[in-house]
Amino acid sequence: MASPANAASLRQNSKVIQDTNSEIIIRSLTLADWKEFRNLRLKALKENPIAYGIAVTDESDRSDEDWKTICQDAYNGKGKWYFIAEHQGQLVGILGAVQQNGSYMSHLVEIVGAYVDPHFRRSGVMKQLFCALKSRLQETAQVQQLIAWVTLHEYQTGKYAFESFNFKYAGKLSRVTKYEGLYYDCCWLEASLRDEEF
């Protein structure tokens, strides 16, 4: 059960945007969302495993308790934060952040799990998710820096999306992802949480 502070934070961090047919709600992930969150995450991995560098089987083997723990930790802000886009009671988008471990890197979070259902792309959903996530992270005093990695392949859009949120190219790693016998490079992007607006 959510504490009054968490419930207030959830209400504060829920936003409604208008779709052409009906509204999309942007809100924090909760424990009650675990099944839909799991299903949308697995859908993302199935649709584009190269982009994530993760096979569906890598995460489909997680137990129900594992998925519930992710959701509960994200809701409580225990080193994870996730926002979701909801349309007519169905999850259609995800964006998360995971704090790096250790005293010397806890100011750094990695943006993870970016995904919007194909039917809702090019409608500003990812930008709304990023705005909500950024707002929540700015409430966390020790978090100062954002990083993201993107697999570079012929259909990638992640790099352009992050650059539109003021992320800057920070370097490339070679042959990071191997998919069906082919290797793909990835790039790192970074952004300051405190100094830049987009």
Question: What residues contact 97, with CB distance under 8 A and at least 6 apart?
Answer: 80, 81, 82, 109, 110, 111, 112, 133, 137, 146
**pLDDT in 10s for each residue of the chain, 198 residues:** 344 444 444 444 555 544 444 799 999 999 999 999 999 999 999 999 999 999 999 999 999 999 999 999 999 999 999 999 999 999 999 999 999 999 999 999 999 999 999 999 999 999 999 999 999 999 999 999 999 999 999 888 999 999 999 999 999 999 999 999 999 999 999 999 987 544
Range of the domain at 113: 4-147
pLDDT at 8: 45
Q: State how far Cα 163 lies from the chain centre.
A: 15
Number of domains in the chain: 1
Instruction: State how far the Cα of 90 lies from the Cα of 166, in Å rounded to an integer.
Output: 30
User: For residue 193, is it within any domain?
Assistant: no
Q: Give me the CATH number covering residue 97.
A: 3.40.630.30
Is residue 177 one of the residues assigned to a domain? no
Give the model's pLDDT for residue 19: 42
Give me the pLDDT at residue 194, please. 82
Whether residue 161 is contained in a domain is answered as no
Flag whether 189 is in a domain: no
The pLDDT score that the predictor gives to residue 2 is 41
Domain membership of residue 122 (yes or no) is yes
Partnered with residue 94 across adjacent β-strands are 84, 115
Q: What is the pLDDT of residue 98?
A: 97
Asked whether residue 160 is assigned to any structural domain, the reply reads: no
Residue 188 lies inside a defined structural domain of this protein: no
Instruction: Identify the burial level of 141 via C-beta atoms within 10 angstroms of its C-beta, where 0-12 means exposed, 13-18 middle and 19 or more buried.
Output: exposed
